[in-house]
Amino acid sequence: MHFDDYQRYDALGLADLVRQGEVHPSELLDAALARADATRSLNAIVMRLDESARQRAQAPFDTSAPFAGVPFLVKDLFQDLKGLPSSGGCRALKAVPAPEDADVVRRWREAGLVIFGKTNTPEFGAKNVTEPQAWGPARNPWDPTRTPGGSSGGSATAVAAGIVPVAGANDGGGSIRIPAAACGLFGLKAGRGRISMGPLMGEALNGAAVQGVVSHSVRDTAAMLDVLQGPEPHAPYHMPAPEVPYLQCLQRPPGRLRIGYSTVSPIGTPVDSQAIAAVADAAVLLTDLGHHVEPCDTPFNGVQLAEDFLLAWFCAQAFIVDHIQRTYGASPKDFEADTRLMAAVGRHTSALRLLQCEARWHEHNLALSAFHARYDLWLSPTLAALPPPIGSLTTPPALAWVGDVVARLGLAGWLSETPQFKQTVLNNLGWTPYTQLANLTGRPAMSVPLYRTPEGLPLGVQFVAGLNGEALLLQLAAQLEQARPWRCNPPTPRS
């Protein structure tokens, strides 16, 4: 299958070709591998599984499976393949095999997908850019000097570059929506408990992190949610199943929605004029479609939420680093300097302070619930600015050395309370201050690729729904996709 033919279809479209006997899965895989070879400079894929994928593509297929024979990539974080390393972007784990398939991986295989690689991610998914020292930076196909975002940056790069029509992703603070917005893709973060994180964990980051995909088409994401949603016997809890399958619900219009929008950064950092223009453009389109759209105040305390989000992440880094050191004998130098400092802050955070932080998560939920009593959706920029250049957010060596000294002297707890430290970490969220709300509250949210800058770069807008609002988001996304189709030929990577 020639690439020009391959990239015309979404994943469901490719599966239909297999089902009708017009193409064989091995032909689809050959097209995907050829495109992966042609776009190596983007560094989307950190592990290739060509041989096992070829065997899978040659094996008999259940053609009734929704994604029968479609090439697929999983993220190298929380999407384990039994017997293969899941590095999570960390040097210490590059040779540590996973003991079990992740639940999502098992379901993807049952759905007929042909997994041929793992995608790039920052160390433990803890950054909004994908530049791990373990693998090097992933690059944005629209402008390879810029980041594709993070932490699902490798997956977004692969989809935007045309390697696959949809790829595995996950989201603990915007990690699906940020790269989707940066790469011109559709990205849905499901609500807490909708998709299992098992079997090796009950939930990640106290339920803030969820599994999912990035895709070109709304229907691919809807069908993927049908595949992934639903209980597992080891899951700590689960959301009720939708009244009808998500793919089927796309046939229903969303009705006239009440949408409040705001563009001011919740943490007081600058917002680029193009991000504001993206929301204004979306508001006009939504109004033309018959929805009630009006400006509103930001529906949460942005600075407090950011601090509560970051403190939980710091404690999670401490847990992860300590576990890897105990279990695999890793040394501090096996982790990046930023990870070491985050872990040091988490290690010196008292249990009382962490519990106070987590208690405030519910306060943020109450604030968002009050907003949703008036509006169906909150609309905002997904990104406050265009994706930054590769390396622009890297901690300078001198500052990294200071962080290590602070950690060794046991001063990380004190450091985290200083205004300078708090401002520094808030500034790191400066281009992505809108996405953490949905994670802390457990609510579904999506980034929709409606806007292009005058230079032709994509910039998504975000919608946040209330409890159990995935179907509503998908219905609106399908309406927007029909009104303004966004899929185009993948950009040609520049070396």
In whole angstroms, what is the distance from residue 409 CA to residue 391 CA?
Answer: 29
Check if the beta carbon of residue 196 is closer than 8 Å to that of residue 232: yes
Three-state secondary structure call for residue 360 = helix
Whether 86 is catalytic: no
Which element (helix H / strand E) includes 240?
A: none
Which member of 86, 87, 155, 175 is catalytic? 175
Q: What separation in angstroms does the CA of 186 have from each of 103, 339, 447?
A: 23, 29, 6
186: number of CA atoms within 13 Å, CB side? 24
Check if the beta carbon of residue 126 is closer than 8 Å to that of residue 339: yes
Token pair listed for 410: 């046991």
Q: Which residue, chain included where needed, has tokens 């939930």?
A: 203
Three-state secondary structure call for residue 75 = strand
Residue 216 gets which letter from DSSP? S
Whether 175 is catalytic: yes
Q: What separation in angstroms does the CA of 204 have from each of 84, 211, 266, 318, 384?
A: 21, 10, 25, 14, 26
Phi first, then psi, for residue 269 (nearest 5°) are -90, 165
In whole angstroms, what is the distance from residue 166 CA to residue 162 CA?
Answer: 9
Whether 151 is catalytic: yes
In whole angstroms, what is the distance from residue 258 CA to residue 36 CA?
Answer: 42
Which member of 151, 155, 215, 265 is catalytic? 151
Which residues are marked as active site? 75, 151, 175
